Chains A and B, each alone.
Chain A
Amino acid sequence: MATIVKETQSIKQALVLINGIDTGKFPRLLSRILQKLHLKDEHSFNEEEKEKLQAALSLEKQDLHLVLETVSFILEQAAYYNMKPAALQQQLENVHLNQEKSEAFALAWTNMGQDIVEKLRQNTFAPKKLENIGWCLNLEMGQSTQAKMKSPHAILELGVNSEDSENTEKIFVEFNHGELLEFYNKLETIQAQLDSLT
């Protein structure tokens, strides 16, 4: 098992600071960071909260920053290697994190670790992702070039979201019966592929 935390200068400094944190407040700090770990661009705390933390933990701004970064790093590594809580605790004690803090890490990881790994698994980057599916079924009775028709038409609305923008792009596709059947057969082929993976 690789050592997840190498003892660089800044890590050592951070660990000293972490050791100094009030043990009562530490678990809450951990779970808060864990909650937002899987989100790529969001920070666990905004500016206001960071200032409150500075006061609560009696840390200078830079020290607080270092502590938060290091805690996040440790948790990300635990997720990356999908570590068991016991292994995590052992590794942390090896780099001289005191026992109470290591236990706090292990406990938080036991509670929320699996969840985090699952969420990270779902994280993919693709330019666009399918978010919503809507549809309506119409019976076309006539048009300018044909009278007295009775042909069913389905309109599929696919809501596609791209990562950097919040706007959902809507794609409209129309199908008649034959086209829809063809599409469905292709989806069945994809399903067969997915089934062969498990």
Chain B
Amino acid sequence: MVCNLEGTCSMSHRSCFLGARMPLEVDLMVKQLKDLDKEIFRKILKAVVNSLEGKDSTESVRSIAETKSLSEEQLSCILAGMYTLLSEALRLPQSSLKQEVFKDDLRDLRIPEEYISDFASVVFGSRRSVLEAAALQKGNRLPSLQDFRWRVDVAISSSSLTRALQPSILMQLKLSDGEAHRFEVPVAKFQELRYNVALILKEMNDLEKRSILKIQD
């Protein structure tokens, strides 16, 4: 309970940003951090940040393992703990988890002060937007449209009609999962598609304006 002089009180309901129950790997990591050399900590941190950004970090982890300053078990504990801690912190938008609160939480975990500022600079520093973009990429989605090609044909004549003069549209969609679809769209169906897409856009706009989206947490 915190009471200030004007007589209003506030009570902090918040548990740590990691959740009510401490993840096991973070617990194990904290135990390792006390005796860890700062240089090695920084190297491991760099490898974890690289992997969160989506880059491959097997080489850097292997070189750390080869220095033999840590046992394999210790290294795995630290890697797992760091990964969980950082990805949980990055999950929450910056409006929900402020830097000071984050640092306080880490102090409650008894992480050494210098390491706290290193962690904070990852979560709240300049790389934040890159890390957020990488997190969105990893999300589960149905395939999205990667490439869209089309052409409009007019059939002048065919085996059934010497003067057909019928327009039609050929579309090729390449999706993000690698599949390509090529199909013809009769003009009437095309109008239906266009109408429906416009309708969805209108609904999206209405949705974004509604007050439920303006609720800040």
**B-binding residues in A (CB < 8 A):** 38, 76, 79-82, 117, 120-124, 126-131, 133, 135, 137, 139, 143-148, 150, 152-156, 158, 160, 171-177, 179-181, 183-184, 186-188, 190-191, 193-194, 197
Contact = CB atoms under 8 A, between A and B. Distances in A.
Contacts of B164: 120-121
Could you say which of B92, B142, B197 has the most chain A C-beta atoms within 10 Å of its C-beta?
B197
Given A76-B160, A120-B160, A124-B184, A135 B200 contact: yes
B139 A145 contact: yes
Given A152-B204, A152-B207, A186-B148, A79 B143 contact: no
Contacts of A191: 190, 194
B158 interface: yes
Contacts of B189: 130-131, 133
16 contacts: A82-B161, A120-B158, A122-B166, A122-B186, A123-B160, A126-B168, A137-B203, A145-B138, A146-B135, A147-B96, A173-B142, A180-B200, A183-B197, A188-B194, A190-B169, A194-B187
Contact of B186 (A130, A152, A180): A130
Contacts of A122: 166, 186
B118 interface: no
Interface of B: 87, 91-93, 96, 132, 135-136, 138-145, 148, 150, 152, 154-155, 158, 160-171, 173, 175, 181-187, 189-190, 192-194, 196-198, 200-201, 203-204, 207-208, 213, 217
B204 A147 contact: no
Contacts of A180: 197, 200-201, 204
Given A148-B217, A174-B142, A120 B161 contact: yes
A82 B161 CA distance: 8
Contacts of A179: 144-145
Contacts of B140: 143-144
Q: Tell me the interface secondary structure of chain A in the complex.
A: mixed
Contacts of A183: 145, 148, 197
B170 A81 contact: no
A180 B193 CA distance: 12
- For A127, A145, A188, which residue has the most chain B Cβ atoms within 10 angstroms? A145
A121 B166 contact: yes
Given A137-B204, A156-B197, 20 more contacts: A123-B158, A123-B160, A128-B183, A129-B185, A129-B186, A135-B196, A139-B207, A143-B139, A147-B91, A148-B96, A156-B200, A172-B143, A173-B142, A173-B173, A173-B175, A174-B143, A187-B193, A190-B152, A194-B167, A197-B152
A129 B162 CA distance: 23
Contacts of B161: 79-80, 82, 117, 120-121
A148 B150 contact: no
Contacts of B168: 124, 126
Nearest to B216: A148
Contact of B182 (A127, A173, A194): A127
Contacts of B139: 143-146
Contacts of B166: 121-122, 124
Contacts of B196: 133, 135, 156
Contact of B160 (A79, A146, A158, A188): A79
Closest 6 CB pairs of A and B: A126-B184, A128-B183, A174-B142, A145-B135, A120-B160, A147-B91
Contact of A129 (B165, B175, B183): B183
Contacts of B197: 156, 180, 183-184, 187
B148 A197 contact: no
